[in-house]
Amino acid sequence: MRLVRTEMNMTEGPIASKIVAFAVPLFFGNLFQQLYNTADAFVVGNFLGDDALAGVSSTGSLIFLLVGFFSGLAMGAGVVISKYYGAKDVQKMRSAIHTSFVFFAICGVAFSIIGAFGARPMLQLMQTPSDVMGEALAYVRTYFAGLFTMIMYNVCMGIMQAVGDSVHPLIYLIISSVLNVGLDYLFIGWLKLGVFSAALATVISQLISVVLCLARLFTIKENYRLRVRELKIDFKMLGQIVKNGLPSGLQNSVISIANVVVQGHINYFGAEAMAGCGAFSKIEGFAFLPVTCFSMAITTFVSQNLGAAKYDRAKKGARFGVITAVIIAETIGVLMIVFARYLIDAFTESEEALQYGIEKSRICCGFFFLCALCHCFAAVLRGAGRPVVAMAAMLAFWCVVRVSILFIFVPITKTIHIVNWVYPITWSLCAIVLSFYFFFADWTGEKKAVKLQAPSV
């Protein structure tokens, strides 16, 4: 007998407690998920050295290029599912769930093949130095070969989170993350299999998550249960999913391309810069988890409430989420500046690499509140079914402006300082534009709904 309902109807009850109750399990789940890549970097750096660490660290942007695209599409699926869940339209909700599952399964197989065979030319485009190319290629090929598990993980977690269940994703991530750390030490520390085995450990652990998700989704008694006979694509529903998810997916991928360009400029300064900046990126991933989780909670909250036509509640929840995330982000940024030396030192024994990581911390961390604003405003707009606005702003500033600054000023200055400063500059520009839309546009669609309901004269 089931004692606790883990799904959450966010259209009723206290706003703050609903968002926090949904975000907290997300935080711990994402915390353990972050252990995947961090455990790879920590074990690789300590057992295989800085060249291997540089090879693993330099592939982060490339990996997110594909994973980020499907994460964005999965967000679109989640928005559609949340909308119909909030509106209590069970038939359309089930259609969205089963369509998403089949579509992502097909894409997972296709892109596992494409990613594995396209790894080398993509690393070459990133100007990966020859002394770390072998390590980077071995790692990223293994990772991409298991891309199917990453994609299916995203869609399964997306289904559960869309109906307000952030508890089971947490449980599954804890299990797979502990397994991942254990496999890292087994493959690298004991069996001495090399850097590719760090990616292999991640793929195996992610596969366990997917199996656990499927076991739940195919056996639960709730109305969002997966059924084999319903596994088919409703192309009209797929159109809604793509309409909501494609802008976020393209946004993630194009930003990843821009980050690949940024990584290429970091690579220009050598393996020590790659190792130091890579270590900072791992720590930053942990630091930004609370903001990421609040933004995910905001998307689900806004989507469910707009589906239920509760416009004022959606606005209040959005404001609470944005303010809370900004305060958390800046607090963490200050702490990272204070403890930068100790944090970076955990990943590398090189003093030169350590200094690269400390410098990036001192430049970027004080502006974390701007990055938080961008993520939260974008989350609100995704939940409201307006992802194109967020995509346009983030692509303009996080991609076009960011890359332009690098190509213009790095050849002139010939220092890594501008590579570090490009982040707060573009965060600030994007935050200004999105804040205008958030405060002055009818992103809830309330005015349009009122006009449609008004009696004709």
**pLDDT at residue 68 greater than cutoff 70:** yes
Share of the chain above pLDDT 70, in %: 92
Which region among 24-33, 97-106, 295-304, 315-324 has the lowest average model confidence (pLDDT)? 24-33
Domain extent listing, the chain? 15-440
Span 14-63, pLDDT tens digits:
999 999 988 888 888 777 777 666 666 777 777 777 667 776 766 766 77
Which region among 72-81, 152-161, 249-258 has the lowest average model confidence (pLDDT)? 249-258
User: Can you give the pTM of this predicted structure?
Assistant: 0.77
Backbone angles phi, psi at 163, to 5 degrees: -100, 15
Letter string b/e over residues 133-158, b meaning 16 or more CB atoms within 10 A of that residue's CB: bebbbbbbbbbbbbbbbbbbbbbbbb
Residue 399 or 50, more confident: 399
Span 402-456, pLDDT tens digits:
999 988 988 888 888 888 999 999 999 999 999 999 999 989 887 776 665 555 4
